[in-house]
Structure 1
């Protein structure tokens, strides 16, 4: 990794650490005691399939390797579950990828799923409780907000590599409605979109 990329990686880690430190008093320990976030009233799985670009996320150990262009591709598998393919460009310019399966566990809304990744500790059970909740959707499924029952993760997904100011405002409102803080999220650089890492509350 060259010095420029090393500085960018360290900056990302520093911002992530500062973000979590700033909200530590009202963060994970308090969130875990709250009721799970509400899923959207109804998710049309056929419309949700396809390619999504990650434009912001709550920092997790598995996505710190990603420098830019993080994306998810969802397709139906032979069992009627969702085949998941996540990929991104790493800090060294390489490709990082992982495949998994998402299974709907809420037949009422179809918006709560269990996502598993074979071979990944604690994430390799194909069936289990929900760990992926679609809590908000933009017009015509233009963007989605995803979190989990304990609000320890969060992802802003978009059909395009960029959102306009009004859409970002809607996303921040959705984050607040889900019981999260927009400052917990960091933007995810995308080619053709935002090219910096910053707290979502500052976008």
Structure 2
């Protein structure tokens, strides 16, 4: 169990290395209450911390009274096991005034939360269909996800979001679709 938690905590350390480049456009007027709930991954830029995930990739977000967000990521692994990582999200502390489209997440243990390197960027770049689709990336353009509320998304909307990401400088030719 500890080994799995260490492996699943690695994403926060890797994403945390992302530098903040303010030239990445984000969605205006994000309502985090509407953003909460379950999202299904449709596509992503390959990354080392999701290497074992072969399908059924999803994230669930729940906001606490103190405005922190519990993040629960799950996926089906190559061996058939369901992998799960639980982390925390918050408004980015590097942006003033606070912008609900610019978040930070960590999957490292809470006792390390004071250490800036454990927090990774999570920028909501674009929303479509009244919070039915979300394009999330990092300002260094290393990480990108297309998410939807439904397990089976409209391929046209997914492609439109990827076109938008390409216009923002992401290497979308490297994007891999997520197995359902």
Indicate the TM-score class for this superposition, using the shorter chain for normalisation. Answer: 0.7 to 0.9
Match of 2:11 in 1: none
Residue 70 (structure 1) aligned with residue 70 (structure 2): no
Greater shift, 36-45 or 162-171, is seen at 162-171
Aligned ranges for residues 132-147 of structure 1 at < 5 Å? 132-147=122-137
Larger Rg: 1
Query: What count of residue pairs does the alignment treat as equivalent?
Result: 157
Match of 1:116 in 2: 106
Structure 2 residue runs without a partner (length 5+):
1-18
When residues 91 and 138 of structure 1 are mapped into structure 2, their CA distance, relative to the original with a 3 A threshold, is same
Conserved 8 A contact 1:88-1:97: yes
| Structure with greater strand share of residues | 2
Residue 89 (str. 1) matches residue 79 (str. 2): no
Q: 1:178 deviation in Å?
A: 2.2
The equivalent residue for 1:58 is 45
Q: Matched residues in 2 for 1:47 and 1:35: separation?
A: 24
User: Cα distance, 1:50 vs. partner?
Assistant: 0.1
Superposition TM-score, scaled by structure 2 size: 0.78
The answer to whether 1:174 aligns with 2:161 is no
Q: Report deviation, 1:184.
A: 2.0
Q: 6, 11, 27: which one pairs with 1:40?
A: 27
**Cα distance in structure 1, aligned partners of 2:127 and 2:20:** 25
Q: Distance in 1 between matches of 2:70 and 2:44?
A: 21
Superposed displacement of residue 92, structure 1: 0.8
Q: What is the root-mean-square deviation of aligned Cα atoms in Å?
A: 2.5
2:177 and 2:39 map into 1 onto residues whose CA distance is 15
Shift of the alpha carbon at 1:125? 3.0
- Contact 1:115/1:126 (<8 A) preserved: no
Give the structure 2 partner of residue 19 of structure 1.
none
Aligned equivalent of 2:148: 158
Distance 2:156 2:23 in 1: 27
